[in-house]
Amino acid sequence: MSKIAGAQLYTVRDYTKTAEDLRTTLQRIKAMGYTTVQASGLWHIPVEELAGIARSLELGIVITHTPYERFVEDLDEVVRDHHALGCSIAGIGGLPVQFRSSEGYGAFAKQFNAIAEELGKQGLKFSYHNHHWEFEKHGGRLGMDVLLEETNPETFLFTLDTYWVQAGGADPAAWIRKLKGRIEAIHLKDMTIIDQNQIMTEVMEGNLNWPEILQACEETGVKWYLVERDNGPTDAFDSLRISYENLKQVGFV
């Protein structure tokens, strides 16, 4: 099976403020060669309009980032929106600040284990996106280990972010393998050093071990390879294009 590179739309969040801007942005992304996207920061656009624009451009929406408050306050609407988008994975972009403590990780795991199981009854899966703070130890355990060990592997997945794993002092490929069976989507972004600072950069333009990362993805059955760059010196569209062209050279279509 060919590997499919998608675009995480958080990368171009400054160009999706209106439905008209979103259509233009998605047209540009489609022209680069991307066929799938992650919907992130787009809940200000009516879901039917978002779905219609994506369908008209033949871009699949494979996962979202949905705010914490929507999961806990209106899960039924979250379910309806994902069905309308034809999207089977409801993701969260990170751990809310109030949970970043020894007790907090366990509390979040308990709360979202229940939410993920309810989503599972509705034909959806939940996916958690990491940053670097999950690699801090609390009571001798990494935050990531708490989330991994105290949630249901059938419904609680992980969207591993290669840059943030590296920034947390961990090995992205090792964590991909550790999450086998629970990682359908991955965020691909690279890390370089400029003036002694860690900087996000385009895939294969930095220092991450991409042959090992991509091999681990194949071994574990990752389905969606989502290119992202939160910030950086390169134009956001140029960033997506460079990453896509680099991935295409190693077998992505």
* Closest among 52, 43, 46, 124 to 83, alpha carbons compared: 124
User: Is the pLDDT confidence value at 1 over 60?
Assistant: no
Averaged pLDDT, 85-106: 97
Q: What is the pLDDT of residue 3?
A: 85
Helix locations, the chain, DSSP H: 19-32, 47-56, 68-73, 75-85, 102-121, 143-149, 162-167, 172-178, 210-220, 236-248
Inform me whether the pLDDT recorded for 54 exceeds 80: yes
Q: How many residues does the chain have?
A: 253
For residue 73, pLDDT over 70 is answered with yes
Q: Are the beta carbons of 144 and 130 closer than 8 angstroms?
A: yes
Domain residue ranges in the chain = 4-250
**Fold (CATH) for 4-250:** TIM Barrel (3.20.20)
Per-residue pLDDT, 2: 67
pLDDT, tens only, 209-239: 999 999 999 999 999 999 999 998 899 999 9
Find, among 62, 48, 59, the residue nearest to 25 by Cα. Answer: 59
Q: What is the pLDDT of residue 195?
A: 95
For residue 111, pLDDT over 90 is answered with: yes
Give residue-wise pLDDT tens across range 148-185: 999 999 999 999 999 999 999 999 999 999 999 999 99
**pLDDT confidence of residue 70:** 98
The answer for residues whose C-beta is within 8 angstroms of residue 68's C-beta and 6 or more apart is: 92, 96
Residue 22's pLDDT is what?
A: 98
Distance in angstroms (rounded) separating the CA atoms of residues 117 and 126: 8
Summarize pLDDT for 123-147 with one digit per residue, the tens. 999 999 999 999 999 999 999 999 9
Q: Which residues contact 214 (CB under 8 A, 6 or more apart)?
A: 3, 250
Position 164 scores a pLDDT of: 98
